[in-house]
């Protein structure tokens, strides 16, 4: 009997598949609706809850829980998606079980954290953001989608668009930094790169905006911690990138671990339904973060059954790894605590995503054993990795033009990061292969041969054995040398003494940033600082090259080093890119997208702050400041030097009045006053001088890049319309208010020219 039923369902499904593929070119919403209606009419409640469940298998997990009996659950129709595996072989095996052995043969979605590249790794996202190059960022997302889809995947948990103002938080490495405008443009570029507005291709994948929402505002920069802020701040400062990604067509959204207004995001009806679906019109599906539903019990909003009820009623569609819908969903529906409609809507959205991907037509469309070879690690992708690395690096200091280096001089490369490869691909590079990354030493030797420079290790990456153990338990491969720290430093000093210039290559292990990798002291590890102090005593000029996943506090380094170059974790071609930058084949052009504080006590610190009633005045006691350190950051948002020098003329406004619906143009002349070619990111900021609510001292509203040969200049123009002046007022209405505005243009958020206009 069962066999007959199975055959019957199979033939029904096949007829659906055939009619669907006949209509493939039109693929109208009506076709999809008919198909999904038909399929859902055959589904039991358990099967619907199964579609709403994501299991984790395999090699990479990001939480403490692993799914059990995965194959059995797939056979029983109790899984809609799987996360944590890739390769066509591994994915084919599970897809085959779903398609051959489950009652309704519904194919699975395969999700994975493809965050800054899949196999070919690009710089960490904070580094990519520092390029301010949207086209480049889109191309990296595109390349990542090509490699991921070649590996059988059809869903990435990216872009991560959490605005953050706290570099103690380890996950700053995954996002675009502190600014909502830049974050929004980057979010759009990434969604476009992954999805191309066309999921029917075999090399586009679902994107997933995360973590919705406000995750980057975790108190004290501690991961998973409480978030609390006014709606005014949410709307103006934290929500725009999520909204921009949704408007750019992102197919899925992931909830965040934190609470918002006293309710964890995964149970927050206001966020998931009122805001995301009703206000923003999001039509895709919502997945929770990893076990976020059961974790709501720890948050203290109910027992397991209650938190499941909360999340279903909030509008969550898929449970990542928690299996709470499987356990409690049926009972909640039967007792009337959750309506059948909620379940139907959620299941429908997931089936729609599968339909749009073409999985009902061909469940194996992403699975082809030849594709990884054809599409991964191609010369184009490796070249893109180098281009992205070059464009992400930020020159923070360069006294006396010590950089670029002159290869005819004697140069000593000193530090644990000269040769280490493990860190170069950064955190969240799950399918990346760090052994394929090019170290700085390899980059140097490729270009200059083996015996050109002097080398010394100088220090271990870390001396703190308890921390080393914690990090090594998660694959950091940090080695402590047999030589004592003193011996390492002595060798380094002797090496430095034989050189004309020292390049100290220091920083964090990759695992010192990323998820659950927060720090209260964000300076260089003490033992690395000891090395720098000893090198400083040699009197040799020192270039400090940093590899980090976050802004560090670099006050001492800024006072004592001749040059500082921030290279982040620059990806597969890090060493090649760094060699080119150090020797001036290309000038650095990156600009930081997070403020670098002078010390941890200044945090949170960000450029688009409000004025107080008592703005800082160093000569007056009762003003808003610290006794022990200035209010100014070490390096402001948008800052980054070049090997050449750019000078700015005055701002020319096409008019000093803007009328509703009109435009004015702000133009500035930028000149390359130095001796080398270079690219400058020209930034436009606006201040709303008087508002119905207080407004920031300035906000980024545009940016453009210009490449200039030495001695040349060019004009850069920005059109300003009333749209650029809008903000959310106290009623959360998006309005423009007439009055005075100031325009600022410059090469960073601090050093700007300004002009005024009025909005009529």
Q: Which residues bind ligand BGC (CB under 6 A)?
A: 62-63, 113, 157, 210, 289-290, 515
Burial of residue 742 (CB within 10 Å: 0-12, 13-18, 19+) is middle
Q: Give the up-direction half-sphere exposure of residue 464: CA atoms within 13 A in the CB hemisphere.
A: 12
- Cis geometry, peptide bond prior to residue 404 (ω within 30 degrees of 0): yes
Q: What is the DSSP letter of 267?
A: G
DSSP 10: H
Of 83 and 752, nearer to ligand BGC (C-beta) is 83
Six token digits for residue 720:
């300003």
CA distance 427 to 171: 9
Detail the DSSP E strand segments found in 375-499: 394-398, 411-414, 454-456
| Contact status, residue 373 vs residue 151, Cβ threshold 8 Å | no
515 or 722, CB closer to ligand BGC? 515
Question: Which tokens hold the place of 532?
Answer: 């720098």
Q: Contact at 8 Å (CB) between 194 and 247?
A: no
Cα 656 from Cα 667, distance rounded (Å): 13
- Residue 724 DSSP class: G
- Residue 194 or residue 290: which is nearer to ligand BGC going by CB? 290
SS3 403: coil
Q: Beta-carbon neighbour count of residue 122 at 10 Å?
A: 35
Q: What CA–CA distance (Å, rounded) separates 32 from 144?
A: 28
For residue 529, give Cα distances in angstroms to 129, 167, 403, 504.
28, 19, 22, 11
| Min dist. Cβ of residue 434 to ligand BGC (A) | 19
The C-alpha atoms of residue 721 and residue 736 are separated, in whole angstroms, by: 10
The residue assigned the tokens 């009109």 is: 662
Distance CA 322, CA 333 (A): 18
Length of the chain measured in residues:
760
| 113/688 with CB nearer ligand BGC | 113
Closest C-alpha to 12, from 51, 41, 53: 41
Can you give the three-state secondary structure of 249-263, one letter per residue? Answer: CCCEEEECCCEECCE
Q: Closest CB to ligand BGC among 125 and 567?
A: 125
- As separate numbers, helices (DSSP H) first and strands (DSSP E) second, the chain gives 23, 27
Residue 190 Cβ, how far from ligand BGC at the closest point, in Å? 14
SS3 call for 126: helix
Q: How far is CA 315 from CA 253, 295, 308, 338, in A?
A: 12, 17, 11, 11
Active-site pick, 289, 319, 580, 688? 289
The CB-side HSE value for 444 (13 A sphere, CA atoms) comes to 19
75, containing H or E segment: helix 70-75
Residue 218 to residues 223, 276, 544, Cα–Cα distance (Å): 6, 21, 31
Closest of 67, 59, 64, 63 to residue 85, by C-alpha: 59
Q: Which C-beta is closer to ligand BGC: that of 83 or that of 388?
A: 83
How near is the Cβ of 197 to ligand BGC at its closest, in Å? Answer: 23
- H helices of 339-392, in order, are 340-356, 371-375, 379-392
Residue 648, beta-bridge partner list: 670
Nearer to ligand BGC, 91 or 543 (CB): 91
Nearer to ligand BGC, 168 or 210 (CB): 210
Closer Cβ to ligand BGC, 285 or 453, answer by number: 285
Whether 756 is catalytic is no
| CB-CB neighbours of 264 under 10 Å | 27
Sign of the CA dihedral running 576, 579, 582, 585: negative
What is the number of alpha carbons within 13 Å of residue 314 lying toward its C-beta? 27
Secondary structure element (H or E) that encloses residue 90, with its range:
helix 88-96
Distance of alpha carbon 484 from alpha carbon 72, whole angstroms: 54
Minimum separation from the CB atom of position 224 to ligand BGC (A): 9
Q: Can you tell me the distance from the alpha carbon of 54 to that of 42, in angstroms, rounded to the nearest whole number? A: 21
Q: Closest separation between CB of residue 209 and ligand BGC, Å?
A: 11
Q: Terminal CA-to-CA distance of the chain, rounded, Å?
A: 77
Determine which helix (DSSP H) or strand (DSSP E) holds 706, and give its type and residue range: strand 699-708
What are the φ and ψ backbone dihedral angles of 110, each rounded to 5 degrees?
-115, 115
Give min distance, CB of 391 to ligand BGC, in A. 25
Closer CB to ligand BGC, residue 84 or residue 640? 84
Which residues are part of the catalytic machinery? 289
């Amino acid at each position: 009997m069962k066999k007959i039923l199975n055959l019957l369902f199979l033939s029904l499904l096949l007829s659906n598949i055939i009619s669907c593929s006949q209509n493939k070119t039109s693929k109208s919403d009506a076709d999809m609706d008919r198909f999904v209606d038909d399929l859902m009419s055959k589904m039991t409640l358990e099967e619907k809850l199964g579609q709403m469940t994501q299991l984790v298998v395999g090699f990479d997990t990001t939480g403490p829980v692993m799914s059990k009996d995965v194959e059995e659950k797939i056979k029983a129709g109790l899984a809609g998606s799987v996360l944590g595996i890739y390769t066509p072989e591994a994915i084919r095996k599970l897809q085959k079980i779903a398609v051959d052995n489950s009652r309704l043969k519904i194919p699975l979605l395969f999700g994975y954290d493809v965050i800054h590249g899949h196999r070919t790794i690009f710089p960490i996202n904070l580094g990519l953001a520092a390029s301010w190059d949207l086209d480049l960022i889109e191309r990296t997302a595109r390349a990542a989608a090509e490699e991921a889809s070649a590996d059988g995947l059809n869903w990435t948990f990216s872009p991560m668009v959490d605005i953050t103002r706290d570099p103690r938080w380890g996950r700053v490495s995954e996002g675009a930094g502190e600014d909502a405008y830049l974050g929004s443009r980057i979010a759009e570029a990434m969604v476009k790169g992954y999805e191309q507005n066309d999921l029917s291709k075999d090399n586009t994948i679902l994107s997933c905006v995360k973590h919705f929402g406000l995750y980057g505002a975790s108190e004290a920069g501690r991961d998973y911690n409480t978030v609390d802020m006014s709606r005014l701040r949410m709307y103006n400062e934290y929500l725009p990138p999520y909204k921009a990604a949704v408007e750019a067509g992102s197919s899925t959204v992931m909830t965040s671990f934190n609470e918002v207004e006293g309710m964890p995001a995964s149970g927050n009806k206001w966020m998931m339904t009122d805001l995301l679906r009703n206000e923003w019109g999001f039509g895709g599906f919502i997945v929770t973060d990893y076990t976020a539903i059961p974790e709501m019990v720890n948050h203290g909003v109910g027992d397991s059954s209650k938190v499941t009820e909360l999340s279903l009623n909030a509008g969550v569609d898929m449970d990542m790894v928690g299996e709470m819908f499987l356990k409690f969903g049926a009972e909640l529906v039967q007792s009337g605590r959750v309506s059948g409609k909620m379940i139907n809507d959620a299941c429908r959205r997931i089936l729609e995503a599968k339909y749009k991907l073409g999985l009902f037509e061909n469940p194996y469309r992403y699975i082809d054993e030849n594709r990884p070879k054809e599409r991964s690690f191609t010369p184009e992708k490796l070249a893109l990795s180098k281009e992205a690395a070059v464009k992400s690096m930020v020159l923070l200091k360069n006294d006396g033009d010590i950089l670029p280096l002159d290869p005819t001089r004697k140069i000593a490369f000193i530090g644990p990061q000269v040769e280490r490869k493990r860190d170069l691909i950064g955190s969240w590079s799950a399918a990346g292969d760090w052994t394929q990354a090019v170290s700085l030493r390899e980059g140097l030797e490729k270009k200059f041969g083996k015996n050109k420079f002097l080398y010394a290790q100088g220090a271990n990456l870390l001396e703190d054995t308890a921390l080393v153990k914690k990090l090594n338990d998660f694959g950091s491969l940090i080695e402590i040398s047999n030589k004592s720290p003193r011996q390492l430093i002595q060798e380094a000093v002797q090496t430095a003494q034989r050189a004309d210039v020292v390049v100290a290559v220091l920083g964090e292990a990759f695992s010192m940033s990323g998820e659950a990798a927060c720090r209260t002291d964000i300076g260089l590890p003490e033992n690395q600082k000891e090395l720098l102090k000893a090198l400083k005593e040699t009197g040799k000029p020192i270039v400090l090259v940093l590899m980090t996943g976050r802004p560090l506090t670099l006050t001492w380094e800024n006072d004592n080093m001749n040059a500082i170059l921030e290279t982040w974790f620059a990806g597969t071609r890090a060493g090649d890119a760094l060699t080119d930058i150090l020797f001036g084949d290309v000038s650095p052009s990156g600009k930081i997208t997070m403020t670098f504080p002078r010390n941890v006590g200044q945090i949170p610190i960000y450029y688009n702050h409000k004025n107080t009633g008592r703005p800082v005045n160093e000569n007056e006691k009762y003003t808003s400041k610290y006794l022990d350190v200035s209010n100014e950051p070490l390096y402001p948002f948008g800052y980054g030097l070049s090997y050449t020098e750019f000078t700015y003329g005055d701002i020319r406004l096409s008019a000093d009045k803007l009328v509703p619906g009109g435009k004015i143009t702000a133009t500035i002349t930028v000149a390359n006053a130095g001796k080398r070619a270079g690219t400058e990111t020209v930034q436009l900021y606006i201040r709303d001088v008087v508002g119905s609510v207080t407004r920031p001292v300035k906000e980024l509203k545009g940016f453009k890049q210009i490449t200039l040969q030495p001695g040349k200049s060019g004009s850069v123009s920005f059109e300003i319309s009333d749209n650029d002046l809008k903000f959310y007022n106290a009623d959360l209405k998006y309005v423009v208010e007439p009055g005075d505005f100031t325009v600022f243009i410059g090469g960073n958020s601090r050093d700007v020219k300004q002009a005024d206009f009025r909005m009529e």
